[in-house]
């Protein structure tokens, strides 16, 4: 199960976009859903900040 991350741009909690479970843990893709995030506004509302991390069990 995903542990949760904060956006590196706006520091708000990010939501899980994708999770792939492996025997040793999970690959999790987090995406910032904050409509006021600087990355979202500066990209012309095309690119949300996302991050892929491996989380151990």
Counted residue by residue, the chain has a size of 57
Note if the pTM is more than 0.85: no
- Residue 57: the pLDDT is 78
Given a contact cutoff of 8 angstroms between Cβ atoms, the answer to whether 36 and 10 are in contact is yes
Tokens read off for 20: 């792939």
What would the pLDDT profile of 20-38 be if each residue is shown by its tens digit?
A: 999 999 999 999 999 999 9
Strand partners, 28: 19, 53
């Amino acid at each position: 199960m995903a542990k949760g991350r904060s956006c590196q741009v706006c520091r708000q909690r990010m939501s899980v976009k994708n999770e792939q479970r492996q025997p040793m843990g999970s690959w999790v893709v987090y995406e910032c859903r904050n409509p006021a995030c600087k990355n979202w506004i500066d990209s012309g509302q095309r690119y949300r900040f996302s991050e892929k991390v491996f989380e151990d069990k």
